[in-house]
Homo-oligomer: A and B are copies of this chain.
Amino acid sequence: MSIDTKAVLAGERLALARLLTQIENQTEDGQRALGELFPHTGNAHLIGVTGAPGTGKSSLVNQLAYHFRNPAAGEPQRVAIVAVDPSSPFTGGAVLGDRIRMTALIGDEGVFIRSMASRGSLGGLAQNTAGVVQAYDAAGYEVIIIETVGAGQSEVDIARLAHTTLVVEAPGLGDDIQAIKAGILEIADILVINKADRPGVENTERALKNMLALAHPVQRVFRHHGQRMEAQAVTDESAPMWVPPIQRTVATDGTGLPEMMEHIAAHREFLQTSGDLERRERARLANELDLRLRATLTENFQAGLKNGAYDEALEAIVKRKLSPQEAVQKLLQSK
């Protein structure tokens, strides 16, 4: 079925939903439509929300959407959410696809939600998510929230899609958490301690502050001197710096959400004035170009192989007659 890109550009929900299905199924029609829509992208603010299971990310995302729709000041913004599910790479089913969202969002035409499942192909999920984000962007959503679970490589790849990345923690989630924090701290623009009404919130905040101090040396200087210094004084670059704020929230009752919205607005402002937005856009698009290039090269190569050449090479590896390295060379030469 061909895609009505004009209807997508006009913001028609049904046309958008159909396009998203084509993107998820990686059809040629879907890819063609994305190509046509691409000149109309680049306008949305992309917010990534990531964190370990049990931190309450989904509730937080619901609250963010609600506050963008019902702002303290200014115009309501249209919000589209893509929730990337940690579901099976084998069945392709979106486990969280049918989860219950906030009642306040139900029936709001300014909100669009889609869950994405992993399809098992290397980089496939990241590529599909990038496609969904482009479709939302072309359809005129001003804010796009990319919600991912976990802290693995694929989640980080997906976080790279965002302009502003929120890393969500919660008190008392176990002893491995510290290690994960160190990994995803570096992608965090805003740190959120959700479920902040739970015991242990002070410990979590202290741990995050210590890790921030390690990751952002300028903060360490602040601490040593006991007073605020200009970032310029302690870094080589003359560009302004962003030090991730730590915000406590209780997503279930909305505590901390107004402050959260201010942090997001401040980061957006920072991105624009510092030139960081341009740098991130370039990195984001380079990442997408690389993913597509890799996938196309592999497809073209396999399509051009002689019948049975791949199976022969695999058989030789299984029998330990060729190493995988040698098999690759042999396949490359057989062309």
Contacts and interface: CB of A to CB of B under 8 A. Distances in A.
Interface of A: 31-32, 34-36, 38-39, 41-42, 52-58, 85-91, 95-96, 118, 120, 122-123, 125, 149-157, 170, 173-177, 179-180, 182-187, 281-282, 285-286, 288-294, 296-298, 300-301, 313-314, 317-318, 320, 323-328, 331-332
B154 A282 contact: no
B88 A183 contact: yes
A313 B289 contact: yes
A174 to B, nearest CB: 2
Nearest to A311: B286
Contacts of A184: 88
Given A55-B174, A176-B54, A282 B318 contact: yes
A198 to B, nearest CB: 11
Contacts of A42: 320
A182 B296 CA distance: 31
Contacts of A282: 314, 318
A186 B88 contact: yes
B151 A31 contact: no
Contacts of A34: 323, 325
